[in-house]
Amino acid sequence: MKERVICIFANGNRFSLETGEVLKAKLEKSGFKTTCDFHPEAELIVCIGGDGSFLQAVHRLDFPRIPFIGINTGHLGFFQEILPNQLDDFIFHYKQNKYHIQHLSTVKVIGQTSSGEEILHRGLNEIIIKGNRSYSVHLNISIGGSFIERFSGDGILVATSAGSTAYNYSLGGSIVDPRLNLLQLTPIAPMNTTAYRSFTSSILLPTDSSLGIIPEYTKDHQLNILVDGSEYPYEDIESLSINLSNKEVRLLRFESYDFWAKVKSKFL
């Protein structure tokens, strides 16, 4: 019989590590092999922590095809499906295949700088283009090749549906039901003047549309690209293109999964 391997990742906090130990014992008693390193043949990756540690694991493993399940020891946990006191329930349902897989789209930015450096980043929540040291940015934005707006302000954020409840929401963007697959372009403090005009609300784009960005520079030539909370500085970016990426993140969800109940308990 083929060995069934499950990876268990816990963030550094004590409660997460303890939960990981308890889960390891329970899974091994149920006939699974567990590892705390990445294993390419694993059937499941358990991630113990908050949303931030989940995002870190997804990036560290470079968006694997193996499904994840999150155990929440953080704040609310949008990606997390279960709590540390539900381990037996989880194993019981998992062994009976009583779950479904939620597919989360990711967003990708590609581009180059004037010195020929290639840019490529992928995000699960969002990609943000911002200026250096609080300088405003000037971006010419096109959708599907047609010029749309000349943006000036702190920057722009492009969120996936999964990322809609993170930074996007703090900026006044809309919460997106995960059954809708789209990209949301949300401005960060847009300035509207006679020289630069842009939309002040978020705009929603279908999955096959491509967002083009050509920066204009005045005094500072650095732009920062932020991807799920990590920042990457670049000098003299010539152009960027932001699209839905072909990689998905797969999450185990049980019958009790209710996105809107989560949203309500976090925000209301």
**Which residue sits closest to Mn ion, CB atoms considered?**
52
Contact 147, 155 (CB under 8 A): no
- Considering the complex, state which of residue 87 and residue 166 has its C-beta at the smaller distance from ligand NAP: 166
**51 among known catalytic residues:** yes
Q: How far apart are CA 173 and CA 201, in angstroms?
A: 7
Choices 3-11, 49-57, 59-67, 211-219; region in contact with Mn ion by CB under 5 A: 49-57
Contact track, Mn ion, 96-135, x by CB under 5 A: ----------------------------------------
**What three-state secondary structure class fits 183?**
strand
Residues 242-261 that bind Mn ion (CB under 5 A): none
Choices 50-58, 78-86, 131-139, 156-164; region in contact with Mn ion by CB under 5 A: 50-58
Burial label for 215, CB within 10 Å (0-12, 13-18, 19+), is buried
Residue 16: name its binding partner from ligand NAP, Mn ion, none (Cβ under 5 to 8 Å by kind).
none
Question: Which of 51, 62, 154, 220 is an active site residue?
Answer: 51
Strands 44-49 and 5-10: parallel
Q: How far is the CB of 208 from Mn ion (least distance, A)?
A: 32
Angle between helical axes of 14-29 and 87-95 (0-180°, round to 10): 40
- Considering the complex, state which of residue 128 and residue 223 has its C-beta at the smaller distance from ligand NAP: 128
Q: How far is the CB of 144 from Mn ion (least distance, A)?
A: 35
- Considering the complex, state which of residue 193 and residue 260 has its C-beta at the smaller distance from ligand NAP: 260
**What three-state secondary structure class fits 157?**
strand
Judged by the rule CB under 6 A, the positions of this chain that interact with ligand NAP are 50-52, 55, 74-75, 77-78, 125-126, 162-163, 165-167, 170, 228-229
Q: Work out which of 5, 13, 52, 143 binds Mn ion, going by CB under 5 A.
A: 52
- Tokens linked to 63: 């968006």
Q: How far apart are CA 160 and CA 104, in angstroms?
A: 8
- Tokens linked to 10: 């816990």
- Tokens linked to 165: 């409840």
Between the two ends of the chain, the Cα-to-Cα distance in Å is 49
Name, in order, each residue with C-beta under 8 angstroms of 263's C-beta and a sequence gap of 6 or more. 165, 175
Strands 222-227 and 44-49: unpaired
Tokens 């050509």 found at: 214
Q: How far is the CB of 20 from Mn ion (least distance, A)?
A: 18
Contact 178, 161 (CB under 8 A): yes
Q: How far is the CB of 229 from Mn ion (least distance, A)?
A: 8
Q: How far is the CB of 164 from ligand NAP (least distance, A)?
A: 8
- Considering the complex, state which of residue 153 and residue 163 has its C-beta at the smaller distance from Mn ion: 163
- Considering the complex, state which of residue 90 and residue 167 has its C-beta at the smaller distance from ligand NAP: 167
Size of the site for Mn ion (CB under 5 A): 1
List the catalytic residues.
Answer: 51
Q: Which residues are at the interface with Mn ion (CB under 5 A)?
A: 52
